[in-house]
Structures are given as structure tokens and as C-alpha cells.
């Protein structure tokens, strides 16, 4: 009998991401995350995931031009966004908007490698605009058009906060590189199941966004930020965590299905959080996070996951809370699309079995006799 939640089950082969559970090391297409995170641009990482190799300068230039070309939304999207009540979560808007975009793409039902690469490129370019337009439709007007130059991360930061700041953009970029891919996490697996029916790429991405939203998955970065804001100050952190653990509650930002030791992505993000808090001369949040980390190690033997210190960094960058998980989408869409393409290039329908534990055979009794 498999463990609940398919724990430890290998369900297929993939050449995209390698997680070594014993050493905790992580590689995208053979490259260590430590080398990619702080030394590659997000555009290079996205290219690597989709095209299977790091780009040359010429390939990178042409990829950036493709992304810039696709950085626009069909006219129909704006009136659609304006009909959405302001209480709706941005993740729900994104999920529906991606579905909507699928309906406007004449190549929607073409699962060929070339069509999928083109659709993936288009979606990667459009997600930052979708987030921006969705915020704009509910709050004060923000800039609607991407900057004519600059990095993907710089543009994302600008479209979400209206800020142009290369140092902040670099911090955001590192988080995008870390979030881009993580093998068969729940949202990627969901996307692959959908893609395996030869359903369209937009549909598979919409399913992935729906899956990422949950607080046990991508929604955790927003939930961590809410927790940190609720605790408020380092002096209260230890007792707050103790009281939650006494009540048998889970502490968001801790634990991982696959990584039971340190996660190299968290190590990088923690270092960035520490550096950023010193640079901003605002160390209270980081101090509080460290106390929580220490308390969780002592009480539960659990390590922080990537979402924990990412939330600290995003709070220090003054990124709006509602965009934390959508930013995860803006990055993980690269991994999702690489998996959807890999699945459809070598497709076999994903259709596992369940072990039946329901009632044994029962005789049907007509309604009037029940």
C-alpha cells in the first residue's frame, strides 16, 4: 500500500529538475541552484528550463525580444478584469485570466512542441501584466505598460509596486530563480496530469495555478507574512509559536514533503533576508524569523521551507501581500510549461489506480422502497 499523499512514489521520468533528498542538493537541467540563483538572470533560467540549455548571448537577446513582443494583453482582458469584485483573490483572477487567454489563442489546441514553446513564452511574458492589471482594476491606478527596457524582474517589480530599483529587482530575481522549478510538486504534477490528456497548455497552467493557491503549497508565502505581521515583534515570537504548537496547529513555512533536512533554496533566501535587513537597517523582522526558526527546530525538529524566508524578503521589499503567491506563479510558470511540454512530447495518459476501501457489494433498493 502506498503511503497517503503518494509520498515517496516515483511516477515517471523527467530531465528537468533533480532533487537529491540525502544531500538536499537541487539542480535545474544539471546546474546547481547555488550557481543559478545569484549568478543567472531569470530570463536565462526560464530559457534553460524551456529550451534545455543555457542561452548564448545571441539566443538570450532573441529570447528577450520574444518576451518583449509578447508583453501585451488582448483588449478583451481589461473589461473582463473590471467585472471582478474587489474581494476576489488575485490567484483566482490569474487562474481565470489564463483560461481566458487560452480562448483568444488560435493555437490553443495545438500540442506540438513548437506551438507549446510559443504559448509558454507568451504566457511567461503576460503573467506580470495580468497581475498588474488585476491590481489596477481594484485599487488605485498603477502603471499599465511594461518598461521599454530592463530585466524581467525589474519589470515585474515596477508593474506590481510602481518602483524602479535595480537592487530590489535583484532580490526579487533571486527569489524568481529559486521558485522556478521543483520537480513533481503538487501544482506541477496537476499540470502534467492535465497535459497527459492532451488538453491545452492554458488549461494545464490554469489547473496548476488553482493548485498552487493552497496554503500547504504556494499560498504559504502569503500565510507566512500574515503570521509574521500577527506576531508583530521578536519578543512575542517564541510564546506565540509555543501556544500554536500546544494547540496542535501547523506553523506555515515549515516542513516539506521531500526535504526533511535543510533546503538549499532556503539557505540562499535566508542569507538574502539577513543582508537586506542589515542594508535597510531594519532587522526586527529578520530577528523574529530567526527566533521562530530556532523554536521550530527545538520543538519539532522542522526546518523552514523556501516560503518562510521569501516572505521575509518580500515584506522587506514592501511588496503587497496579495501579490506574494502571484509572484510565485510568475516564476513557477516556467517549470510548469517545461513539464507540460516534456509530458506532451513523450505522452502517455496519466491514470493511476486506487485501492478500494468502500462497502462491499450491496443490493440496489428502488427509491419507493428505501
Ligand X SMILES: CC(C)(COP(=O)(O)OP(=O)(O)OC[C@H]1O[C@@H](n2cnc3c(N)ncnc32)[C@H](O)[C@@H]1OP(=O)(O)O)[C@@H](O)C(=O)NCCC(=O)NCCS
What are the backbone dihedrals phi and psi of residue 283, each rounded to the nearest 5 degrees, phi first? -100, 0
Residue among 302 and 321 whose Cβ is closer to ligand X: 302
Which alpha helices (DSSP H) does the chain contain, by range?
33-39, 42-51, 57-70, 77-82, 90-103, 113-136, 152-161, 166-179, 186-195, 201-212, 220-231, 234-246, 264-279, 284-300, 306-316, 324-345
Choosing from 256, 261, 363, 368, the catalytic residue is: 256
Instruction: Assess whether 307 carries a catalytic annotation.
Output: yes
- Output the nine-digit C-alpha cell for 355: 485501492
260 binds ligand X (CB under 6 A): no
**CB under 6 A: which stretch of 64-72, 86-94, 123-131, 250-258 binds ligand X?**
250-258
Candidates 63, 91, 73, 34; CA nearest to 151 is 63
Least distance between ligand X and beta carbon 248 (Å): 8
Contacting ligand X within 323-352 (CB under 6 A): none
Separation of alpha carbons 288 and 290, rounded Å: 5
**CB under 6 A: which stretch of 186-194, 248-256, 269-277, 362-370 binds ligand X?**
248-256
358 binds ligand X (CB under 6 A): no
Contacting ligand X within 11-70 (CB under 6 A): none
**CB under 6 A: which stretch of 16-24, 59-67, 93-101, 249-257 binds ligand X?**
249-257
Q: What DSSP assignment string belongs to 43-77?
A: HHHHHHHHHSSPPPHHHHHHHHHHHHHH----TTH
- Candidates 146, 253, 264, 326; binder of ligand X (CB under 6 A) is 253
- Candidates 66, 300, 320, 322; binder of ligand X (CB under 6 A) is 300
264 binds ligand X (CB under 6 A): no
71 binds ligand X (CB under 6 A): no
Residue among 306 and 333 whose Cβ is closer to ligand X: 306
- Candidates 172, 225, 227, 251; binder of ligand X (CB under 6 A) is 251
266, 269, 270, 271: CA torsion to nearest 10: 130
23, 24, 26, 32: CA torsion to nearest 10: -50
Instruction: Assess whether 256 carries a catalytic annotation.
Output: yes
5 binds ligand X (CB under 6 A): yes
Choosing from 217, 303, 307, 339, the catalytic residue is: 307
Least distance between ligand X and beta carbon 308 (Å): 7
Q: Please calculate the CA angle 345-93-47 and round it to the nearest 5 degrees.
A: 35
Separation of alpha carbons 152 and 150, rounded Å: 7
- Candidates 177, 196, 305, 343; binder of ligand X (CB under 6 A) is 305
Separation of alpha carbons 152 and 130, rounded Å: 14
Candidates 225, 315, 231, 310; CA nearest to 263 is 310
- Output the nine-digit C-alpha cell for 205: 497552467
257 binds ligand X (CB under 6 A): yes
Residue among 101 and 180 whose Cβ is closer to ligand X: 180
Q: What DSSP assignment string belongs to 298-343?
A: HHH-PPB-HHHHHHHHHHHTT--GGGHHHHHHHHHHHHHHHHHHHH
Closest residue to ligand X, Cβ-based? 255
Residue among 198 and 216 whose Cβ is closer to ligand X: 216
Separation of alpha carbons 353 and 355, rounded Å: 7
Residue among 122 and 185 whose Cβ is closer to ligand X: 185
Angle between helices 186-195 and 324-345 (to 10 degrees): 40
220 binds ligand X (CB under 6 A): yes
Least distance between ligand X and beta carbon 149 (Å): 34
307 binds ligand X (CB under 6 A): yes
Candidates 352, 210, 264, 340; CA nearest to 27 is 264
**CB under 6 A: which stretch of 100-108, 145-153, 255-263, 349-357 binds ligand X?**
255-263
Least distance between ligand X and beta carbon 258 (Å): 8
Active site residue ranges:
256, 307
State the residues that interact with ligand X by CB under 6 A.
5, 216-217, 220, 250-257, 300, 302, 305, 307
Amino acid at each position: 500500500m502506498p503511503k497517503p499523499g503518494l509520498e515517496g512514489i516515483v511516477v515517471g521520468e523527467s530531465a528537468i529538475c533533480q532533487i537529491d533528498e540525502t544531500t538536499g542538493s537541487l539542480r535545474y537541467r544539471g546546474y546547481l541552484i547555488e550557481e543559478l540563483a545569484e549568478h543567472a538572470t531569470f530570463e536565462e533560467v526560464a530559457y534553460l528550463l524551456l529550451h534545455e540549455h543555457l542561452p548564448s548571448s545571441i539566443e538570450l537577446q532573441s529570447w528577450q525580444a520574444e518576451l518583449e513582443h509578447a508583453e501585451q494583453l488582448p483588449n478583451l482582458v481589461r473589461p473582463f478584469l473590471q467585472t471582478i469584485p474587489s474581494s476576489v483573490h488575485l490567484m483566482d483572477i490569474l487562474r481565470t485570466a489564463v483560461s481566458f487567454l487560452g480562448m483568444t489563442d488560435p493555437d490553443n489546441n495545438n500540442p506540438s512542441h513548437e506551438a507549446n514553446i510559443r504559448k509558454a513564452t507568451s504566457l511567461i511574458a503576460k503573467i506580470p501584466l495580468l497581475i498588474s492589471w488585476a491590481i489596477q482594476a481594484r485599487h488605485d491606478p498603477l502603471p499599465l505598460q511594461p518598461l521599454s527596457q530592463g530585466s524581467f524582474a525589474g519589470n515585474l517589480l515596477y508593474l506590481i509596486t510602481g518602483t524602479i530599483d535595480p537592487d530590489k529587482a535583484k532580490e526579487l530575481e533571486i527569489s524568481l530563480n529559486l521558485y522556478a522549478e521543483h520537480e513533481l510538486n503538487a501544482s506541477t504534477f496537476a499540470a502534467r496530469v492535465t497535459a497527459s490528456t492532451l488538453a491545452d497548455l492554458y488549461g494545464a497552467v490554469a489547473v496548476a495555478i488553482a493548485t498552487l493557491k493552497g496554503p500547504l503549497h504556494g499560498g504559504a508565502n502569503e500565510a507566512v507574512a500574515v503570521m509574521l505581521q500577527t506576531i508583530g515583534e521578536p519578543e512575542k515570537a517564541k510564546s506565540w509559536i509555543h501556544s500554536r504548537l500546544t494547540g496542535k496547529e501547523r506553523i506555515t513555512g515549515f516542513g516539506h514533503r521531500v526535504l526533511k533536512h535543510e533546503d538549499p533554496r532556503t539557505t540562499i533566501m535566508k542569507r538574502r533576508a539577513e543582508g537586506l535587513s542589515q542594508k535597510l537597517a531594519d532587522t526586527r523582522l529578520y530577528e523574529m524569523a530567526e527566533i521562530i526558526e530556532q523554536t521550530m527546530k527545538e520543538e519539532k525538529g522542522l526546518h523552514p521551507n523556501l516560503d518562510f524566508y521569501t516572505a521575509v524578503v518580500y515584506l522587506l521589499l514592501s511588496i503587497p501581500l496579495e501579490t506574494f503567491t502571484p509572484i510565485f506563479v510568475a516564476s513557477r510558470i516556467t517549470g510548469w510549461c517545461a513539464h507540460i511540454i516534456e509530458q506532451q512530447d513523450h505522452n502517455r495518459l496519466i491514470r493511476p489506480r486506487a485501492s478500494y476501501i468502500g462497502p462491499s457489494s450491496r443490493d440496489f433498493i428502488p427509491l419507493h422502497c428505501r
